[in-house]
Amino acid sequence: MKEEDVEIAIKVVVVGNGAVGKSSMIQRYCKGIFTNDYKKTIGVDFLERQIEVDCEDVRLMLWDTAGQEEFDAITKAYYRGAQACVLVFSTVDRDSFKAVESWKSKVENECGTIHMALVQNKIDLVDEALVTREEADDLAKRLRLRFYRTSVKEDCNVSDVFQYLARKYIDQLNEPEVTVNKVEPAASCQKNSETPTKLTHLNKTSQPTNNGNISLHQPKQSKRGKKSLVKGCMLL
């Protein structure tokens, strides 16, 4: 028998210059695969993965820019309604580092202020680095962004990025009710018990708006019991 449930869904856009590893990151996180063959992403809207935060199912929909980073009009449509964003640059591509701020602005122009993380990908290529650790740190500080160094190839720190964004989003949902509906976390969820506040407004169904600040809650059959598409990459 299926249990009727409501799920939190978060649209996450992954942006940055071409070839920094955006598509690879999404594939790695959602499918657990990595390929060295550089293929321009064509026709993919998003992949998704379900995780658990504070004992709540969270469905992350990771939107790729379909290899059309250079076409503003097209990518704008991808940003619409996003609630979180990953800004990616590559360790071995200085231009991609310099472009981070403009990617941030593009997303903010379309979505308003949403949760963001800065990601330096390809840290396995550190010997060929064209961006110093210090300047990357400085950028993160200046833009006030949580900063992650990842290697999609080596599957290093990728999950942390999305876990962080999901957590920020859940915290935001919980904010108005922090003092109202505190419950003890279930024993099985000790790892995620740092915010022991139960979500109570999950039965609302609201649509995302262009400023990206309204939650996208989709009533849905519960997927409890099949949390992740990637068994070897469990977060929780």
Ligand X SMILES: Nc1nc2c(ncn2[C@@H]2O[C@H](COP(=O)(O)OP(=O)(O)O)[C@@H](O)[C@H]2O)c(=O)[nH]1
**Which residues are at the interface with ligand X (CB under 6 A)?**
18-24, 35-36, 38, 41, 121-122, 124-125, 151-153
Quote the DSSP letter at residue 113. S
Q: Minimum Å distance from CB 234 to Mg ion?
A: 25
Residues found in the chain: 236
Vertex 210 angle, CA 204 and 215, to 5°: 25
| Closer CB to ligand X, 149 or 220, in the complex | 149
Q: Among residues 35 and 207, whose Cβ is nearest to ligand X?
A: 35
Q: Which of 8, 9, 17, 23 binds Mg ion (CB under 5 A)?
A: 23
State the CB neighbour count (10 A cutoff) for residue 120. Answer: 28
Which of 42/187 has CB closer to Mg ion? 42
Residue nearer to ligand X on the CB measure, 28 or 167: 28
Nearest to 83 by CA among 212, 216, 218: 212
- Which does residue 122 touch among Mg ion, ligand X, none (CB within 5 to 8 A, set by kind)? ligand X
What part of residues 62-121 is at the interface with Mg ion (CB under 5 A)?
67
Rounded to a whole number of angstroms, the minimum distance from the CB of residue 34 to ligand X is 7
Tokens of 102: 């403009």
Rounded least distance, CB 47 to Mg ion, Å: 12
Site for Mg ion in 52-71 (CB under 5 A): 67
Report angle CA 196, 87, 27 to the nearest 5 degrees: 80
Contact region for Mg ion (CB under 5 A) — 5-13, 21-29, 141-149, 191-199? 21-29
Residue 41 within binding range of Mg ion, rule CB under 5 A? yes
Q: Are 78 and 212 in contact (CB under 8 A)?
A: no
Phi and psi, residue 36, nearest 5°: -85, -15
Q: Do 104 and 143 form a contact (C-beta atoms < 8 A)?
A: yes
Rounded Cα distance, 222 and 200, in Å: 16
44 binds Mg ion (CB under 5 A): no
Interface with Mg ion: number of residues (CB under 5 A): 3
Measured from the CB of residue 147, what is the shortest distance to Mg ion in angstroms? 22
Burial of 185 (0-12, 13-18, 19+ CB in 10 A): middle
Of 129 and 236, CB closest to ligand X: 129
Residues that bind Mg ion (CB under 5 A): 23, 41, 67
